[in-house]
């Protein structure tokens, strides 16, 4: 496949492909979670030193890395940021390849090993050539998977300390063909929130339900009522998802009505006003449904990441670079938004930028125990970053 795409890919990055793939496989074999990334950060910083970048700053946003590469000229004063995430997921890998995870209960099931390797490949190329007028700042981010790593880096001064003007990132997409890109202006990924509902009642004997207040029945009513919010109260042309992902009671006995029940789930939105409406209605529905069955419900709602929203001009720049790498026919420029969440949104709230999907070919879906990043995508992704640097900061 790579041989078929050599023309649009930088020749040097095609040459580096086997080496970058080895970095990726080493990262894949040694997955680490959230902010605890000692092996990963050691590998990244070691390679950056080897490349001869101008500066390396460690422990930004707890365990993030910031690297600086200055162009052959810097008279433009422009600074472009590139981001890659480094953390893995708490999943047991199912695979028979040689680079399977060595850490029980941890695996790179979202391709962050690939994203990190792609940006490292771009860093090596840019440090060698420096064919741009300005500065490239590389942000290797921890804790994208629910830990708030992007926010931690922003709060530690990522944008201000390194005077970043605009920032870009990518994510692999299973079943998008290798060599393809996909993007849209405006909302690309959803705000991603989480909730927990604790239903309290009066347990009792299952043969005498009239002497109890049934938390299982109340919980079931709550779950059904929640689904009616999105189908009947959210405008049909707006996007909202409420998914209940867990329902547990405090007993496993067949003849006991439980005293309490716990419901967990996630809510997703592309519009902040719809988010406000849904959260209010969730509270009303939960409390009302519990009361109908003589129970009490406690509702906890946790705001996660915001909508990942691509800025108009930066989206155009991202598309132009993608077309230079892959060709017009391989770049989808107005895809439907996806209801997954991405904390790159915290970076886009502070600076204009854009986020793009990179084809991973036929593969298991993200967060699946059989997923693996497709190394054929590496030189394509690295070339996209390089094109952005050179197009946005021409000599």
Q: What is the pLDDT of residue 225?
A: 96
pLDDT tens digits, 78-130: 999 999 999 999 999 999 999 999 999 999 999 999 999 999 999 999 999 99
Q: Are 199 and 218 in contact (CB under 8 A)?
A: yes
Task: Tell me how far apart the terminal alpha carbons of the chain are, to the nearest angstrom.
Answer: 32
Q: In the predicted model, is pLDDT for residue 367 greater than 60?
A: yes
CA angle (244, 234, 344) in 5-degree steps: 65
SS (H, E, C) the chain: CHHHHCCCCCHHHHHHHHHHHHHHHHHHHCCCECCCCHHHHHHHHHHHHHHCCCEEEEEECCCEEEEEEECCECCCCCEEEEEEECCEECCCCCCCCCCCCCCCCCECCCCHHHHHHHHHHHHHHHHHHCCCECEEEEEEECCCCCCCHHHHHHHCCHHHHCCCCEEEEEEEECCCCCCCEECCCEEEECEEEEEEEEEECECEECCCHHHCECHHHHHHHHHHHHHHHHHHCCCCCCCEEEEEEEEEECCCCCCEECCEEEEEEEEEECCHHHHHHHHHHHHHHHHHHHHHCCCEEEEEEEEEECCEEECHHHHHHHHHHHHHHHCHHHEECCCCCECCCCCCHHHHCCCCEEEEEEECCCCCCCCCCCCCCCHHHHHHHHHHHHHHHHHHCCC
Q: What is the mean pLDDT of the chain?
A: 95
Say if 2-188+307-392 and 191-305 have the same CATH topology: no
Tokens of residue 370, six digits: 């059989």
Q: How far is CA 379 from CA 328, 384, 394, in A?
A: 18, 9, 21
pLDDT digits (tens, 9 = 90+) for 140-182: 999 999 889 999 999 999 999 999 999 999 999 999 999 999 9
Q: What pLDDT, on a 0 to 100 scale, did the predictor assign at position 205?
A: 95
Please tell me the predicted confidence (pLDDT) of residue 4. 45
Q: Among 3.40.462.20, 3.30.70.360, 3.30.530.20, 1.25.40.80, what is the CATH number of 191-305?
A: 3.30.70.360
pLDDT attached to residue 146: 85
Q: Say yes or no to pLDDT of 223 above 60.
A: yes
pLDDT given at position 23: 98
Q: What is the reported pLDDT for 273?
A: 92
Which residue is it, tokens 């030193």? 49
**pLDDT over 80 (residue 20):** yes
Single pTM value for the model:
0.91
Position 1 pLDDT exceeds 50? no
Q: How confident is the model at residue 9 (pLDDT cuts 50, 70, 90)?
A: low
The CATH architecture annotation of domain 2-188+307-392 reads 3-Layer(aba) Sandwich (3.40)
In percent, the amount of the chain with pLDDT more than 90 equals 94
Please report the pLDDT score of residue 11 as a whole number.
Answer: 81
Predicted confidence at residue 6, as pLDDT, reads: 41
What torsion do the CA atoms of 19, 20, 24, 26 make, to the nearest 10 degrees? 30
pLDDT given at position 252: 86
Between 182 and 236, the higher pLDDT residue? 182
> Has residue 323 got a pLDDT over 50?
yes
Rounded Cα–Cα distance for residues 58 and 67 (Å): 9
pLDDT in tens, 29-77: 999 999 999 999 999 999 999 999 999 999 999 999 999 999 999 999 9
In sequence order, the β-bridge partners of residue 89 are: 107
Residue 390 gets the label, from left (phi > 0), alpha (psi -120 to 50) or beta, of: alpha
389: pLDDT confidence band, cut at 50, 70 and 90?
Answer: very high
Q: Sketch the domain layout of the chain as residue ranges.
A: 2-188+307-392, 191-305
Distance (Å) of CA 242 to CA 194, 223, 268, 275, 287: 9, 10, 7, 11, 17
Task: Please tell me the predicted confidence (pLDDT) of residue 3.
Answer: 44
């Amino acid at each position: 496949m790579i041989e078929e795409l050599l023309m649009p890919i930088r020749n040097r990055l095609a040459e580096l492909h086997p080496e970058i793939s080895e970095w990726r496989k080493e990262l894949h074999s040694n997955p680490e979670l959230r902010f605890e990334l000692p092996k990963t950060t050691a590998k990244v910083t070691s390679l950056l030193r080897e490349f001869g970048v101008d500066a390396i700053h460690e422990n930004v946003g707890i365990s993030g890395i910031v690297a600086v590469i200055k162009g052959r000229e810097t008279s433009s004063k422009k600074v472009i940021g590139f981001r890659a995430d480094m953390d893995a997921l708490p999943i047991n890998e199912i695979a028979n390849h040689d680079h399977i995870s060595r850490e029980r209960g941890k695996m790179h099931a979202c391709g962050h090993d690939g994203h990190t390797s792609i940006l490292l490949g771009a860093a090596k190329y840019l440090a060698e050539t420096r064919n741009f007028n300005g500065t490239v700042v590389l942000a290797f981010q921890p804790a994208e998977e629910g830990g708030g790593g992007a926010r931690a880096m922003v709060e530690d001064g990522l944008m201000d300390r390194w005077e970043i003007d605009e920032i870009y990132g990518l994510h692999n997409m299973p079943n998008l063909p290798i060599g393809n890109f996909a993007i849209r202006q405006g909302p690309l990924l959803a705000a991603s929130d989480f909730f927990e509902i604790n239903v309290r009642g009066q347990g009792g004997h299952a043969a005498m339900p009239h002497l109890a207040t049934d938390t299982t029945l109340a919980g079931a009513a709550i779950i059904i009522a929640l689904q009616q919010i999105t189908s009947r109260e959210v405008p049909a042309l707006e996007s909202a998802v409420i998914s209940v992902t867990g329902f547990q009671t405090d007993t496993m006995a067949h003849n006991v009505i439980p005293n309490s029940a716990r419901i967990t789930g996630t809510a997703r939105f592309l519009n902040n006003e719809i988010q406000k409406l849904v959260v209010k209605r969730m509270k009303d529905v939960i409390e009302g449904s519990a009361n109908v069955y003589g129970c009490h419900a406690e509702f906890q709602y946790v705001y996660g990441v915001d909508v990942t929203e691509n800025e108009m001009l930066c989206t155009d720049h991202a598309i132009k670079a993608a077309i230079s790498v892959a060709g017009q026919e391989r770049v989808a420029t107005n895809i439907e938004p996806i209801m997954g969440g991405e904390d790159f949104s915290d970076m886009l709230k502070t600076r204009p930028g854009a986020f793009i999907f990179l084809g991973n070919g036929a593969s298991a879906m993200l967060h699946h125990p059989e997923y693996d990043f497709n190394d054929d995508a590496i030189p394509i992704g690295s070339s996209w970053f390089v094109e952005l640097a050179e197009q946005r900061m021409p000599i």
